Amino acid sequence: MKRKIIRGLIGVVSVSIIIIAILLYNGVIWFNNPSHKDYPVRGVDVSSYQGTIDWKVLSQQDIDFVFIKATEGSSFKDDKFDYNWENATKTKLKVGAYHFFSFDSSGITQAKNFINAVPVQKGMLPPVIDFEFYGDKGKNTIIKEKAHEILNQIISAFEIHYGQRPIIYATPDAYYLYLKDDYKNYPIWIRDVIRKPKWLGNDQWTFWQYSNRKVLKGYKGTEKFIDMNVFNGSDIEFQKFIDNSKGIKP
């Protein structure tokens, strides 16, 4: 009898785990669900994976900002960037662009790629450097000094061209290996879809990507999900962040 009960409990637990995994995978439930009270300023980040976005529809769904993928490495440009930038900037959203960092090419050529793609526009959010591992880079890492050399070249070029201090987006592993203690003067956009980034310190991050499994209306691409983010502060503090990030060019 006892064995039957144990087997029954194991079966229930196994089924429950499978159901929870399915719900997580399909974006029905999330590990993180930050409250609107604590984090009233919310936004998304998008790329060509979301297909052709209806910005009028997307912008009306309880979001305040968007970061749009512009470039990657020294030569790649997202084929939806121009369309997304032109149409997103016609909405109420605060708009910024991001560059996917490459460990394999010069920071100078990467910065040129982004600068050639992204116009200087009044009221734009600071440019973002998406600093994370790709391919086998998490295992076959380059030395910190080399990564910093590339990253600093991009930062310097962005600051000169846009007159803004760039935001650095990072995963926890990339942050700990390359950024911790060295880039405290830069706004950090941390990705952690499992937990709240308390490990970073509440005063050490500016944006938090808390979910990659949200489904919103207004797009229909190869990726049905969209990334969700919050700003670490109130509406007033968000506006102050934007005001303090004003470029030297109109």
pLDDT digits (tens, 9 = 90+) for 56-92: 999 999 999 999 999 999 999 999 999 999 999 999 9
DSSP 3-state assignment of 39? Answer: coil
Average pLDDT over residues 183-209: 91
Interstrand relation of 76-77 and 94-100 (parallel, antiparallel or unpaired): unpaired
pTM as predicted: 0.88
The token duo for 167 is: 């935001």
* 3 state SS of 66: strand
Q: In the prediction, which pLDDT does 3 show?
A: 56
Q: Residue 6: pLDDT above 70?
A: no
Q: Assign 245 a pLDDT band (cuts: 50, 70, 90).
A: confident
User: What's the mean pLDDT in 148-159?
Assistant: 98
Query: Is the per-residue pLDDT at 27 higher than 60?
Result: no
H helices, E strands: number in the chain? 7, 9
Q: Which helix (H) or strand (E) holds 209?
A: strand 207-214
Q: What is the pLDDT of residue 200?
A: 82
